[in-house]
Amino acid sequence: MKISEAILQYLKLNEVEVMFGIPAGTVSPIFDAMNDVKIQPIVTKNEGGAAYCAARYANLTKKLGVCIGAGGVGVPNMLNGILDAKRTKAPVLIISGYVNRWQIGKGAIQEQDAVEIFKPVTKFSKMVLEPEDVMKDLEAAIKAAYTVPQGPVFLSIPVDLQSCEFVGELPNKVDYQNCSRIDIDFGTLDKIVNTIDREKYGIIMVGKGCMRLSEDIMALSERLQWPIITTPSGKGVIPSDFALNLGNYGFTSSDSAEEFVEKGPATCVLALGTSMGEASTSNFNKILLKNRKLIHIDNDSNELDKVFEADLKLNADLKMIVPELVERVRKSEMVYNKPLSRETESSGSHLLSVKTFFEKIHKLLPDQTTYLCDIGEYMNFALKYLNSPQGSDFEFSINFGAMGSAIGGAPGAYFANPEKKVAVFAGDGCFFMNGMEILTAKEYNLPIIYFIINNSMLGYVEHGHQYLYGRSLECFKQERISITEMAKAMDIRAVRICNNEEITKISEFISNMDGPCLIELVIDGTEPPPIVGRLKALKQFNEAQ
381 and 465 share one domain? yes
501 and 363 share one domain? yes
**Residue 349: its pLDDT value, please?**
46
130 and 193 share one domain? no
**Residue 179: its pLDDT value, please?**
87
27 and 153 share one domain? yes
**Residue 203: its pLDDT value, please?**
98
d(CA 7, CA 138): 8
461 and 528 share one domain? yes
d(CA 216, CA 94): 34
Which CATH number fits the domain that encloses residue 416? 3.40.50.970
475 Cβ contact list (under 8 Å, min separation 6): none
401 falls within a domain: yes
544 falls within a domain: no
d(CA 414, CA 423): 10
Beta strands in 334-381, from DSSP E residues, in sequence order: 369-373
Inter-residue contact 203 to 266 (CB < 8 Å) = yes
Domain-terminating residue out of 155, 179, 203: 179
Domain-terminating residue out of 179, 211, 246: 179
370 and 488 share one domain? yes
457 and 375 share one domain? yes
333 falls within a domain: no
Inter-residue contact 497 to 453 (CB < 8 Å) = no
d(CA 351, CA 496): 13
336 falls within a domain: no
Q: Is the peptide bond before 447 cis (omega within 30 degrees of 0)?
A: no
541 falls within a domain: no
d(CA 264, CA 98): 59
pTM: 0.94
71 Cβ contact list (under 8 Å, min separation 6): 26, 96, 97, 98, 99, 110, 112, 113, 114, 156
Mean pLDDT of successive 10-residue stretches along the chain, which has 545 residues: 97 98 96 96 98 98 97 93 97 95 88 92 97 97 97 97 95 91 94 96 97 96 98 96 95 92 96 95 92 97 96 96 97 82 54 95 95 95 94 93 96 97 96 96 98 91 86 90 97 97 95 95 89 63 57
d(CA 64, CA 176): 10
Taking Cα atoms as reference points, which of 129, 15, 11, 27 lies closest to residue 74? 27
Pick left, alpha or beta for residue 171 (phi over 0 → left; psi -120 to 50 → alpha; otherwise beta). beta
d(CA 35, CA 376): 41
Q: How many CA atoms lie within 13 A of 359 on its CB side?
A: 12
427 falls within a domain: yes
345 falls within a domain: no
d(CA 431, CA 510): 20
68 and 25 share one domain? yes
Burial of 269 from C-beta contacts in 10 A (0-12 / 13-18 / 19+): buried
Task: Provide the domain limits for residue 241.
Answer: 186-328
Taking Cα atoms as reference points, which of 192, 213, 177, 389 lies closest to residue 296? 192
d(CA 223, CA 219): 6
d(CA 27, CA 10): 17
Domain-terminating residue out of 156, 179, 202: 179
231 and 114 share one domain? no
Which CATH number fits the domain that encloses residue 227? 3.40.50.1220
Q: Which residues pair with 391 in a beta bridge?
A: none
10 and 72 share one domain? yes
101 falls within a domain: yes
203 and 161 share one domain? no
Number of structural domains the chain divides into: 3
- 3-state DSSP call for residue 270? strand
252 and 375 share one domain? no
DSSP 163: T
- 3-state DSSP call for residue 245? strand
